[in-house]
Amino acid sequence: MAADLSTTIYTLDGCDFSYRGTPCLSDITLSLKKGRMYGLIGPNGSGKTTLINLLTGSTHPTSGTILFKDRPIHTYTKPDLAKVLSFVPQTFSMDFDYTVSEVVMMGRHPYIGRFGSPCTRDYELIESALTILDIQHLKDRYVTRLSGGERQRVLVARALAQDTEVMVLDEATASLDVRHSIDIMKALRAKVIDAKLTAIAAIHDLDLAASFCDELIVMHQGGRIHSAGDVSELLTPKLLKNIFGVEATILHVPDETPHIHYRYNHV
């Protein structure tokens, strides 16, 4: 049976968040659907990471409600949530020497349990994730001895191995070169199409967002949502000027995603 892409995964209604009395998010109202890839964009300090934390359940709104799969997100236990939602953080640190394979295996822990043993399916998912992220050759290396970009690919592999319905990523491509950034976005896009994954990714590279996302969520200063909708409708020179303060032309080529051409004065 085909997946119902009208299924609502997230409903955020009037969510505010303050930290030590300072407002960080204001009146966040969103509805996110199954099998869509959302790009969360906005200038520095606009609340993208705070919104990501609300979506993962690691932070709760000061006011307002968040439903995840028709249920208040705060009612999920961590193990239950980890079976349906994976998260790739912006930064990564580890106090112990785990190998790459061991870290990717951590994505299977919600299913294996504390005292269980991995099964064939677990190993298949791990091998697939290592292959997709092109890190098979690193599998026996200690994560603490990898570069920042390599560690980031390990985190994405762990999330892929977790094999969840929803994946949330906070600037997962920020420390990667062009090739590996595209590889990660292609892997996510394939999961969205083939497995009806719902992906929400905070992205600083607007061309990547335009190329791979179905919809954009645009944040602006004050922790508010400026707009949300289809990439082709939302991404305009006016939006780039108003939100990011840059002059640009959006190039539309038949059968291709939009391309951004930034304009500047030559010295």
| Residues 146-192: tens digit of each pLDDT | 998 999 999 999 999 999 999 999 999 988 999 999 999 999 999 99
| Residue 88 in tokens | 């790739």
* Domain membership flag for residue 115: yes
* Domain membership flag for residue 6: no
* Domain membership flag for residue 106: yes
**Euclidean distance between CA atoms 13 and 8, whole angstroms:** 13
Per the structure, how many domains does the chain have?
A: 1
What pLDDT digit, counting tens, does each position of 247-257 carry?
999 988 887 88
Strands (E), the chain: 8-19, 22-33, 37-41, 63-68, 85-88, 166-170, 198-202, 215-220, 224-230, 248-251, 259-262
* Domain membership flag for residue 110: yes
Note the pLDDT of residue 266. Answer: 61
* Domain membership flag for residue 2: no
Q: Give the pTM.
A: 0.93
| Residue 103 lies in domain | 85-163
* Domain membership flag for residue 128: yes
**Euclidean distance between CA atoms 46 and 221, whole angstroms:** 5
* Domain membership flag for residue 262: no
